[in-house]
Amino acid sequence: MANRPEKEKRKNDRVRLSKAEKIAIPIILIVAVWVVYSVVQPSPPATQPTVSSTAPSTSVAPDFTLPVVAANGLTGQSISLSSFRGKVVFLEFMEPWCPHCQNIAPTLEQLHNKYGDKVVFLSVAGPWQGASASDAAAFITKYGTSWTYVYDSSGTVMSNMYGVTSTPTFFIIGKDGSVLTSCTLGESCGPQLDTDLAQYTG
Protein backbone atom coordinates (compact mmCIF):
# COMPACT_ATOMS: atom_id res chain seq x y z
CA MET A 1 0.00 0.00 0.00
CA ALA A 2 2.95 2.37 0.62
CA ASN A 3 3.91 2.24 -3.10
CA ARG A 4 0.49 3.09 -4.54
CA PRO A 5 0.66 6.90 -4.16
CA GLU A 6 4.04 6.85 -5.88
CA LYS A 7 2.60 4.85 -8.82
CA GLU A 8 -0.29 7.26 -9.11
CA LYS A 9 2.16 10.19 -9.02
CA ARG A 10 4.15 8.72 -11.91
CA LYS A 11 0.90 8.18 -13.82
CA ASN A 12 -0.13 11.78 -13.25
CA ASP A 13 3.32 12.93 -14.39
CA ARG A 14 2.78 11.05 -17.64
CA VAL A 15 -0.61 12.66 -18.04
CA ARG A 16 0.85 16.14 -17.43
CA LEU A 17 3.63 15.45 -19.95
CA SER A 18 1.06 14.34 -22.47
CA LYS A 19 -0.84 17.59 -22.00
CA ALA A 20 2.39 19.58 -22.44
CA GLU A 21 3.05 17.75 -25.67
CA LYS A 22 -0.46 18.53 -26.89
CA ILE A 23 0.18 22.21 -26.26
CA ALA A 24 3.65 22.14 -27.83
CA ILE A 25 2.65 20.39 -31.05
CA PRO A 26 0.41 23.19 -32.39
CA ILE A 27 3.07 25.76 -31.50
CA ILE A 28 5.70 23.76 -33.38
CA LEU A 29 3.40 23.46 -36.39
CA ILE A 30 2.72 27.21 -36.41
CA VAL A 31 6.44 27.97 -36.24
CA ALA A 32 7.16 25.48 -39.03
CA VAL A 33 4.51 27.02 -41.29
CA TRP A 34 5.91 30.50 -40.63
CA VAL A 35 9.46 29.36 -41.51
CA VAL A 36 8.31 27.74 -44.75
CA TYR A 37 6.31 30.84 -45.68
CA SER A 38 9.28 33.10 -45.03
CA VAL A 39 11.59 30.96 -47.17
CA VAL A 40 9.35 30.78 -50.21
CA GLN A 41 8.60 34.51 -50.29
CA PRO A 42 10.53 36.37 -53.03
CA SER A 43 13.25 38.78 -51.98
CA PRO A 44 12.31 42.46 -52.04
CA PRO A 45 13.56 44.39 -55.06
CA ALA A 46 16.89 46.15 -54.74
CA THR A 47 16.64 49.79 -53.75
CA GLN A 48 19.68 50.72 -55.83
CA PRO A 49 20.07 50.11 -59.59
CA THR A 50 22.75 47.66 -60.64
CA VAL A 51 25.56 48.59 -63.02
CA SER A 52 26.73 46.34 -65.81
CA SER A 53 30.22 45.03 -65.01
CA THR A 54 31.43 44.74 -68.59
CA ALA A 55 30.84 46.79 -71.69
CA PRO A 56 30.46 43.78 -74.06
CA SER A 57 27.32 42.70 -72.15
CA THR A 58 25.49 45.63 -73.75
CA SER A 59 25.43 46.78 -77.36
CA VAL A 60 26.17 50.40 -76.49
CA ALA A 61 29.42 51.44 -74.81
CA PRO A 62 28.75 52.99 -71.38
CA ASP A 63 29.11 56.76 -71.51
CA PHE A 64 31.44 58.61 -69.17
CA THR A 65 32.85 62.06 -68.59
CA LEU A 66 36.44 62.37 -67.33
CA PRO A 67 39.04 65.14 -66.98
CA VAL A 68 41.61 65.53 -69.74
CA VAL A 69 45.27 65.06 -68.87
CA ALA A 70 48.09 66.24 -71.14
CA ALA A 71 51.88 66.35 -70.92
CA ASN A 72 51.66 69.20 -68.40
CA GLY A 73 49.02 67.53 -66.22
CA LEU A 74 45.28 68.08 -65.91
CA THR A 75 44.06 70.68 -68.38
CA GLY A 76 40.89 71.71 -66.54
CA GLN A 77 38.76 70.35 -69.38
CA SER A 78 36.61 67.23 -69.47
CA ILE A 79 35.52 64.93 -72.29
CA SER A 80 32.47 62.70 -72.61
CA LEU A 81 32.60 59.56 -74.70
CA SER A 82 29.21 60.41 -76.17
CA SER A 83 30.63 63.62 -77.64
CA PHE A 84 32.31 61.47 -80.29
CA ARG A 85 29.05 59.94 -81.51
CA GLY A 86 29.20 59.76 -85.30
CA LYS A 87 32.89 58.77 -85.23
CA VAL A 88 34.74 55.52 -84.69
CA VAL A 89 36.50 55.58 -81.31
CA PHE A 90 39.61 53.64 -80.36
CA LEU A 91 39.41 53.32 -76.57
CA GLU A 92 42.36 52.19 -74.46
CA PHE A 93 42.39 51.49 -70.72
CA MET A 94 45.91 51.75 -69.32
CA GLU A 95 48.07 52.40 -66.27
CA PRO A 96 51.19 54.61 -66.51
CA TRP A 97 53.30 52.07 -64.58
CA CYS A 98 52.10 49.07 -66.62
CA PRO A 99 55.06 47.61 -68.61
CA HIS A 100 52.74 46.24 -71.31
CA CYS A 101 51.17 49.68 -71.74
CA GLN A 102 54.65 51.11 -72.08
CA ASN A 103 55.71 48.46 -74.58
CA ILE A 104 52.71 48.92 -76.84
CA ALA A 105 52.80 52.73 -76.78
CA PRO A 106 54.97 52.99 -79.94
CA THR A 107 52.63 50.59 -81.76
CA LEU A 108 49.62 52.68 -80.78
CA GLU A 109 51.40 55.80 -82.00
CA GLN A 110 51.85 54.08 -85.36
CA LEU A 111 48.17 53.16 -85.43
CA HIS A 112 47.25 56.73 -84.57
CA ASN A 113 49.41 58.05 -87.40
CA LYS A 114 47.75 55.55 -89.75
CA TYR A 115 44.10 55.90 -88.72
CA GLY A 116 43.97 59.12 -86.72
CA ASP A 117 42.25 61.06 -89.48
CA LYS A 118 39.32 58.61 -89.39
CA VAL A 119 39.31 57.42 -85.78
CA VAL A 120 39.24 59.20 -82.42
CA PHE A 121 41.94 57.78 -80.16
CA LEU A 122 41.16 58.04 -76.45
CA SER A 123 43.12 56.54 -73.55
CA VAL A 124 41.73 56.22 -70.03
CA ALA A 125 44.48 56.23 -67.40
CA GLY A 126 43.59 54.47 -64.16
CA PRO A 127 44.53 55.14 -60.52
CA TRP A 128 45.65 51.72 -59.38
CA GLN A 129 48.83 51.32 -57.33
CA GLY A 130 48.62 55.02 -56.56
CA ALA A 131 48.88 56.19 -60.18
CA SER A 132 48.04 59.89 -60.45
CA ALA A 133 47.24 62.33 -63.23
CA SER A 134 50.86 63.48 -62.96
CA ASP A 135 52.01 59.92 -63.67
CA ALA A 136 49.80 59.85 -66.76
CA ALA A 137 51.30 63.19 -67.84
CA ALA A 138 54.82 61.80 -67.39
CA PHE A 139 53.84 58.78 -69.52
CA ILE A 140 52.59 61.06 -72.31
CA THR A 141 55.83 63.04 -72.21
CA LYS A 142 58.10 59.98 -72.13
CA TYR A 143 56.40 58.07 -74.95
CA GLY A 144 55.39 61.07 -77.04
CA THR A 145 51.82 59.91 -77.52
CA SER A 146 49.82 62.41 -79.55
CA TRP A 147 46.19 61.55 -78.83
CA THR A 148 43.85 62.42 -75.96
CA TYR A 149 44.16 61.01 -72.45
CA VAL A 150 41.65 61.25 -69.61
CA TYR A 151 42.15 60.32 -65.96
CA ASP A 152 39.78 57.96 -64.11
CA SER A 153 40.62 59.00 -60.53
CA SER A 154 38.21 56.55 -58.86
CA GLY A 155 38.69 53.64 -61.27
CA THR A 156 34.91 53.44 -61.65
CA VAL A 157 34.85 53.72 -65.43
CA MET A 158 37.64 51.22 -65.85
CA SER A 159 36.51 48.58 -63.35
CA ASN A 160 32.76 48.97 -62.84
CA MET A 161 31.55 50.24 -66.20
CA TYR A 162 33.92 48.39 -68.53
CA GLY A 163 34.97 45.47 -66.35
CA VAL A 164 38.66 45.92 -67.08
CA THR A 165 40.79 43.48 -65.08
CA SER A 166 44.12 43.90 -66.87
CA THR A 167 45.90 46.59 -68.84
CA PRO A 168 46.11 47.51 -71.55
CA THR A 169 42.60 46.64 -72.65
CA PHE A 170 41.13 48.00 -75.88
CA PHE A 171 37.67 48.64 -77.32
CA ILE A 172 36.70 49.86 -80.76
CA ILE A 173 33.40 51.73 -80.66
CA GLY A 174 31.28 52.33 -83.73
CA LYS A 175 29.81 55.59 -84.97
CA ASP A 176 26.50 54.67 -83.33
CA GLY A 177 28.16 54.13 -79.95
CA SER A 178 28.09 50.34 -80.11
CA VAL A 179 31.01 48.16 -79.06
CA LEU A 180 32.38 46.68 -82.28
CA THR A 181 35.24 44.66 -80.84
CA SER A 182 37.63 44.43 -77.92
CA CYS A 183 41.04 42.98 -77.12
CA THR A 184 42.35 41.94 -73.70
CA LEU A 185 45.65 40.40 -74.83
CA GLY A 186 47.73 43.37 -73.73
CA GLU A 187 50.65 44.33 -75.93
CA SER A 188 49.90 41.34 -78.17
CA CYS A 189 46.79 43.16 -79.43
CA GLY A 190 48.73 45.22 -81.99
CA PRO A 191 48.07 43.11 -85.14
CA GLN A 192 44.41 42.56 -84.24
CA LEU A 193 43.86 46.26 -83.61
CA ASP A 194 45.40 47.14 -86.96
CA THR A 195 43.13 44.64 -88.73
CA ASP A 196 40.03 45.80 -86.88
CA LEU A 197 40.69 49.49 -87.51
CA ALA A 198 41.22 48.79 -91.19
CA GLN A 199 37.92 46.89 -91.29
CA TYR A 200 35.87 49.55 -89.54
CA THR A 201 37.33 52.51 -91.39
CA GLY A 202 37.46 50.97 -94.85
pLDDT single digits (tens) 83-107: 999 999 999 999 999 999 999 999 9
Torsion of CA 178, 101, 136, 123, to 10 degrees: -10
The answer as to whether 50 is a domain residue is no
Residue 2 has pLDDT above 90, yes or no: no
The answer as to whether 66 is a domain residue is yes
Residue 11 has pLDDT above 90, yes or no: no
How many domains does the structure of the chain reveal?
2
pLDDT band at 60 (very low <50, low <70, confident <90, very high): very high
Contact 98, 91 (CB under 8 A): no
pLDDT tens for each residue of 38-52: 433 333 323 222 222
Predicted pLDDT of residue 1: 45
Q: Are residues 81 and 15 in the same domain?
A: no
Q: Are residues 104 and 174 in the same domain?
A: yes
Q: Are residues 186 and 133 in the same domain?
A: yes
Contact 134, 73 (CB under 8 A): yes
Predicted pLDDT of residue 49: 27
pLDDT band at 170 (very low <50, low <70, confident <90, very high): very high
Q: Are residues 105 and 139 in the same domain?
A: yes
The answer as to whether 134 is a domain residue is yes
Give the structural domain span for 106.
55-201
Q: Are residues 19 and 63 in the same domain?
A: no
Q: Are residues 77 and 140 in the same domain?
A: yes
The answer as to whether 23 is a domain residue is yes
